[in-house]
Each structure stands twice: as C-alpha cells, then as structure tokens.
Amino acid sequence: MMRTLVAGLSAAALLLSGCGVAEASTGSAAHPASSTMVAVAAQWVPAGDVATTAAHLLSKAKHSVRLEMYELGNPTLVHALIAARRRGVSVSVILDPTESQSQQSGRILAQSGISVRWMHVAHGIDHVKLLIIDGHEVLTGGVNWGRYSRWTTDADVLLPNDSAAAQVFQADWLTAGGRSTADPESPGGWTGIAIQSSLDRMIASAHHSIFVAANYLSDWTIQDALVAAHQRGVTVDVLLNKNTTEALSSERWLVSHGVTVRWATGPYLHAKVLLVDGREGMIGSANFSYHGMDINHEFDVTIPTSLMADADHWFAVLWATGRRL
C-alpha cells in the first residue's frame, strides 16, 4: 500500500540539500537549467497569490515544467500549461484520478499533447502540490490549483534554486507509470515515517513557542507531542478549522490539557503549517491526521530560515483574528 511520501522527507533532506539531481525521465528530452539563472530570493506565497505566482513561473519556463497536483481546475493555469507546451517546453503532469476537476483538466491537457499520468493510491489520494520549473525553481505547499483555491487560508513557498525536487517528481512519474523501483513498504521507500518523524523532532526541540495552523489535527501522536511541549513550558498556539469533522474532539482534548486553541475565521482554513521558535517549520500537503500521516501520498518541505519571519507574521495575523474559545 502506498502511503505518505518518504522521498519528500518532509523534503527536509532533499529540497534543502542543494544537491544536483537529474530531471525526470518522462519520454521528452530533458534540458539542463539555464546557466544564466537569475537569483531570486525564496518567497512565502499566501493562497491568494499562488495562482498568479504559478502563472508567472509557467510563462517564463524555458525547458521543462513538472507538475504534480491533487486538484487542478483553475482554467488560467491549465491554459498556461498548454501555452508552455506550444512554445516547445517539455511539460509533464501527474494527477490524482479521484479528483473531479483534475479528471477534466487531465483530459484537456492530454488532448493538447501534454504527458499526463495518474497516481493511484490504495485507499487514499495523491495529495501532493508540487511545481518544478526548469529543474530548479520549486513552488510547493498546501495550496491546490482548483477553481476556488485562492479563496482559502493557506500558503506555499517558492524555492528558486532547488534542483533536488526533481528526484521526487521522477520517482512519482515512474510510480504513476507502473515502473516504480521503490518498495512501497520499506522505510526508504514510500512510508510516512519521514514526515511524521520530522514533525515529532521539531515539536520536541521547541524551547519557546509552537504555532500550528491546521485544517485537520486528529493525529494522536502529534496531539500528544503538542501537549508534552506545553507541559514543559513551551507556548503552544493552535489554530483549527471548525468546519472539519474531527475539529471539535481535537479542540476539546487539547484544551483539556492546557493547550491554547482558537477557531480560524475568514476564508476556509486549508493550511498544514507548523512553526517552531521562529527558527524552523514545516509546510506541505500532509494534514495532521491519520490519512495525512499514514494513507495518502504527500509532500512536505521544511521552511527556509529566511522565510520564518514571514511565516510567523502570517500566523500572527490569523491568530489575532481567530475566535477565542
């Protein structure tokens, strides 16, 4: 059974390692990244800006576009993918076969000559949100490319010079094509050990503060770790989506153990963000739930230190407007 993606290592070891990795073998000739690459700083990208950022990245792609997306239904971005293909860029897309918007968009892309593969996940979904431009520029996080995704409370990160994500896409491309060389059950293959263990490590290492913005927070291991942090004197602030099925029981359990919880107000809270001591954090597709940790196919990244101030500010604004219990 395919479970949470270890190749992402919460992408801590891959995406931030800076190591060079060959582009995915997708049947189209791969091109090296431009040697005249313009240096751009990493960016924290709120959900409302993700579509514009993605469209800009697609418009300037010179050689390759690699996209793995759970929900693909934004017509502007679908057309941007087609436009890239028409100007000679190699475009390869992995989609989840159970998502209705992706089903329709995948057919349109395939009819336009774009290579599309479908990632089948036993008892779950391919929940990844990952764009790679020319093998090195990465946009990833929790934001889908659906028709209404811009009106959620969520965020992505833009990592401008990170070639290692191509390794993740290549492994998924092979799996979606039925040619995976990974053992789905091995700790070095597709299990959820890396994301879960990275979250546990960050929470255990906290000295001063832990901020959590979560669509779902029903995983008992994570709940226990947050309570343990609170009991050793760490400030633990948890912002939850009151509209999810398990929100009330999660809130009651955390509050009963002294953790401060608020309900998110404003646009639907879709985020999966953990911030620790203003120095490190995680963002990605994996909900803090059983399905996110053990069933679905996911991809998380560690937040670059240079973006932690932006991430903390993003959370502070949401926290200030959250409804006290």
pLDDT given for residue 40 in this prediction: 62
Best CA proximity match to 152, nearest among 285, 48, 282, 292: 48
State pLDDT tens for residues 209-238: 999 999 999 999 999 999 999 999 999 999
More confident call, 16 vs 167: 167
Rounded to whole angstroms, the maximal C-alpha distance in the chain is 58
Which pTM does this prediction carry?
0.86
When pLDDT is cut at 50, 70 and 90, the band that residue 54 belongs to is very high
CA 288, 290, 294, 295 dihedral sign is negative
CB 19 within 8 A of CB 9: no
Could you report the per-residue pLDDT of 92-123, keeping only the tens digit for each?
Answer: 999 999 999 999 999 999 999 999 999 999 89
Say if residues 16 and 304 touch (Cβ distance below 8 Å): yes
Kindly give the interhelix angle for 220-231 and 247-256, rounded to the nearest 10 degrees. 30
Domains and CATH numbers, the chain: 9-25+40-176 (3.30.870.10), 193-324 (3.30.870.10)
pLDDT per residue over 149-205, tens digit each? 999 999 999 999 887 788 889 999 999 987 654 434 333 323 356 899 999 999 999
Cβ-proximal residues to 97 (8 Å cutoff; 6+ apart), any chain: 103, 118, 119, 120
Q: How confident is the model at residue 27 (pLDDT cuts 50, 70, 90)?
A: very low
pLDDT at 180: 52
* pLDDT at residue 134 in the model: 96
- Rounded distance, CA 282 to CA 300, Å? 7
